[in-house]
Structures are given as C-alpha cells and as structure tokens.
Amino acid sequence: MNGLRKLTDKIKPSFEKGGKFGFLHSTFDAFETFLFVPDTVTRRGSHVRDCVDLKRVMIMVVLALVPAMLFGIWNVGFQHKLAFGLNDWGFWNIVWYGIVKVIPLYLVSYIVGLGIEFVSAQIKGHEVNEGYLVSGMLIPLIVPVDVPLWMLAIAVAFAVLIGKEVFGGTGMNIWNPALIARAFLFFSYPSKMSGDTIWTGGMTRYMAEGTAYASGNGLIDGVSGATPLAHPTSEGLMAAGTDFMDMFIGTIPGSVGETSAIAILIGAAILIWTGVASWKIMFSSVIGGLAIGYLGYAVGSTDLPGYYQLVMGGFLFGTVFMATDPVTSAQTECGKWIYGFLVGALAVTVRLWNPGYPEGMMLAILLMNTFAPLIDHYVIEFSIKRRAKKVKIA
C-alpha cells in the first residue's frame, strides 16, 4: 500500500493544473480518491465530516449487491442446464456458463457508462462522479440474460446522458439511472425484454437457429422459459413446476439478479446494518405490496396469497436496491413511509390489474421517483402548519 501511495504522490504534480497531463485532472482525481480516502477537510465554518464520503457509501451498495450477482451467475447456468437437459453438468460447468454470459453484460455496462462519465467530467472540468459504480452494477442484474450487448450499450449511454448528465450528474437526477436504462430497453425493444424465451441463457439463439445451435441436445419438452409472473396463478405455477420455496431461493427464470429472495435479503441486511439505505422505504414497500396483494386475493383477481407477490419478479430487488436510492427517493422521514408504501402498492396493482405489463416494479419506482419531491413538499408544508398552530395556541 505504501508503494502505491508513493507512486500516486510522485505522479500527482503532472496532473495538477499546469502540469503535463493537467487536462486529465478529473480522471486522475477519480482514481486517487478511489484508492485512498481523501485527506482534504473543510477549512472554514463548522462542518461535520467523517470518512464516509460518497465513494464509501457507493462501495457498500456494490458489496450488498454481490450475493445477488453471484447467485444470478449461478442461476443463469442452472436455468440453461434445466432448459437444455444437460444432466451431466456439474457445479463448475454451471458457474462457467453463467460467467461467460454475465461478464460481457458487466463489461459493456461499465465501459460504456464509466466512459461517458469520465468524458463528461473532463469536458465540464468536474470531479468524476462515482454514482455510476452502483448503476453499472445494477443494470446487468435487471436485464434478461440474453439481451443483445449493443442494445445494452445504447441503453446505458441513454441512461447516463439523458437520465443523469442532463440534470447535472450524480445526485441531481430525478429518476434512478439503472431503471432508466431498463425502461429504455423495455419500450425500445419490447421483444427482447418481455416474453417467454428471453429469460433463459441461450434460448433466444436456440429459437432463431434451431438445432444448429450446438449447446446440448436441444430444448427439452415442456420447458416454457416463462417467469412465474407470466402465469401468476396457482395453476400456472403448478404447470411450471414452481412453488414458493423455489421462488424464495431463486431457482426460477428471470432477470439476472432478481430471482433469489435470499441473496437479496442478505444485501438488504448489509444495507440496513450500515445505514446506507432506508429501512423505512423497504419496510413500507413490503407492506404496500402485501396490502394490495391480499386485496387482489380477497376480490379474486388472483388465487395466490399476497406474500407470493413479494418473491415473484423484481419486487424485492426493486424494493431493496432501487426504491431506496437516496437521490431519487423521498427525503423526509414521513415521506419515506408514503413513498415506499406507494411503490409497493403500485407495483402489485400493475401486476394484478394491467394485462399489458406482467411486472410493475420498474414503472412503480419510476413513477414514485417523479412524485418524491412532491411528497416531500407536502410533508414539509404539513409539518410547518402543525407547528405554526402550536405557536398560536401558546
């Protein structure tokens, strides 16, 4: 570590203003603060400052996402094995297939996203914002594994430029950038983002090229590749051979990181324990989802009890990692309860009563992102009025 520090200090002057590589100052700064906690402190005025800066916060989220990512990699291989009847595949075959499928998604996400971040920071003369570390980690986890890489690249570019940089960069965006990328894909290329064949690795290609695609013996009979949300009835789940435990553990088709409730709950525990994400948003979102889920169950819109809604599709993943985004969620404590509840309630409402969209989590979070400032505004207004009343009485 000492050697690294010395090297950094040695090359630092050439990146300062007027140095040989002065124009690359933002880039250098980004790497230096990535490696070391910066020792700059506020000089004037009182200012509470500890070591937890934006970079450390972001790293905590990235760490919390690791279980979901690892499980996702395994599940990609596992679903491929199930669909193509590769009974002789062991654990390492499965993981290897997952790695081969998922790593390119990550490469595209980070190269395109960070590339744009660095270039725009250079142009504006800002420091490089670290917000993309999390977005780049999230994006591959919320897309189907078979999504073409060039589409992902366009979506990432769109999300970073139109979803974030236009508003002024990290911390200024109205909507969660990762969800902007997904929404862009969803509305631009619907055939690659919904349906039955996209959720299992290799299935799209198999459908296009038939048996010529030599990754096994071909698709085994009866495999539909649909996610549980495609047929969200007890009959549908029975036909797909899925029960509650499968969905809880995550051995079901779906977007890469969203399937396993256990892995996501480990991430949630890390986030809550470190205080990075708001437990109020997570908790109220779950309550909202359960409430509408049981309402749908009571009026007969679905024959699955409300708690099924929590483990299907992206509900938990969205609740834990996307709805709690500190930039785009509500800021006031009371507002967080309202915001979270409405995210969960709207997501399940879209699922149950809108036949056009089998999954509503993305739309619910984006919609509530839009309304979060409004919620905050009214919470603050209400609080001001209540206090003003107290003053009058006294």
Partner 1 sequence: MKDFDFKETFLNPIFKGNPISVLVLGICSSLAVTVQLKGACVMALSVTIVTALSSLVASLLRNTIPNRIRIIVQLVVVALMVILVDQVLKAYVYSVSKTLSVYIGLIITNCIVMGRIEAFALGNKPFASFMDGLGNGIGYGLILVIVAFFRELLGSGTLFGFRIIPESFYDLGYMNNGLMILPPMALILLGCIIWAQRSIQKELQEK
The site for partner 1 (CB under 8 A) is made up of 148, 150-151, 162, 166, 184, 187-192
Cβ 177 to partner 1 shortest distance, Å = 15
Residue 6, both tokens? 């010395």
Radius of gyration over alpha carbons of the chain, in Å? 23
298, with CB counted inside 10 A (0-12, 13-18, 19+), is exposed
Nearer to partner 1, 64 or 185 (CB): 185
Cβ 190 to partner 1 shortest distance, Å = 6
Under 8 Å between Cβ of 313 and 351? yes
Cβ 187 to partner 1 shortest distance, Å = 5
> What φ, ψ does residue 393 adopt, rounded to 5°?
-60, -45
Nearer to partner 1, 201 or 306 (CB): 201
Nearer to partner 1, 162 or 363 (CB): 162
**SS3 label, residue 121:** helix
Residue 319, both tokens? 């609740």
Residue 312, both tokens? 């299907």
Nearer to partner 1, 183 or 261 (CB): 183
Cβ 136 to partner 1 shortest distance, Å = 22
Cβ 123 to partner 1 shortest distance, Å = 11
Cβ 150 to partner 1 shortest distance, Å = 8
Cβ 308 to partner 1 shortest distance, Å = 31
Under 8 Å between Cβ of 142 and 178? yes
Q: Which residue has the tokens 């709950």?
A: 265
DSSP-derived secondary structure letter, 52: -
Q: Cα(16)–Cα(63) distance, rounded to whole angstroms?
A: 32
54-84 and 261-274 helices cross at what angle (nearest 10)?
170
In DSSP notation, 215-263 reads SSS-PPTT-----GGGS-SHHHHHHTT--HHHHHHT-S-SSTTTS-HHH
Nearer to partner 1, 92 or 187 (CB): 187
Nearer to partner 1, 123 or 239 (CB): 123
Q: Which residue has the tokens 């050439």?
A: 14
Cβ 85 to partner 1 shortest distance, Å = 26
Cβ 106 to partner 1 shortest distance, Å = 20
Q: Which residue has the tokens 């396993």?
A: 260
Nearer to partner 1, 60 or 121 (CB): 121
96, with CB counted inside 10 A (0-12, 13-18, 19+), is middle
Under 8 Å between Cβ of 317 and 258? yes
Nearer to partner 1, 9 or 209 (CB): 209
The CA-CA-CA angle for residues 353, 356, 362, to 5°, reads 85
Cβ 279 to partner 1 shortest distance, Å = 34
Nearer to partner 1, 188 or 383 (CB): 188
Q: Which residue has the tokens 């993309």?
A: 132
